[in-house]
Amino acid sequence: SFELTQPPSVSVSPGQTARITCSGDALPNQFTSWYQQKPGQAPVLVIYKDSERPSGILERFSGSTSGTTATFAISGVQAEDEADYYCQSADTSGSVVFGGGTRLTVL
């Protein structure tokens, strides 16, 4: 199997851009997805295939990848964006792995 590493927390002021990284040696050969989870709720897919947004997801949300690091960004952060964010990838054996999650705090 493989591992994905995220920072435990990121803090940003309203209106700024928040960036959350996800690192893993397998990422150059696999796609990364991102999920938003608010307290007491199920996660919601916000980015798939590194940078694609599902229908209904705000344009403020974006994803990119470079080498072994995938990055999720929220531009013009708002209080409602405060949540836990998880990266996820799948390998050729069929295994799915999640990063440890990052808590985004809007100051």
Q: How far is the CB of 50 from other proteins (least distance, A)?
A: 11
Rounded distance between C-alpha atoms, residue 49 and residue 84, angstroms = 20
Please identify, using beta-carbon distances, which residue of 12 and 84 lies nearer to other proteins.
84
Residue 98 engages other proteins in binding (rule: CB under 8 A)? yes
Please identify, using beta-carbon distances, which residue of 13 and 92 lies nearer to other proteins.
92
Angle at 6 between CA 39 and CA 32, to 5 degrees: 90
Residue 38 engages other proteins in binding (rule: CB under 8 A)? no
Q: How far is the CB of 78 from other proteins (least distance, A)?
A: 23
> Which tokens go with 97?
């792995």
Please identify, using beta-carbon distances, which residue of 35 and 72 lies nearer to other proteins.
35
Please identify, using beta-carbon distances, which residue of 3 and 14 lies nearer to other proteins.
3
DSSP state letters, 18-73: EEEEEE-TTGGGS--EEEEE-TTS--EEEEBTTTBPPTT--TTEEEEEETTEEEEE
Binding residues vs other proteins (CB under 8 A): 1, 30-31, 33, 35, 37, 42-45, 48-49, 54, 86, 88, 90-101
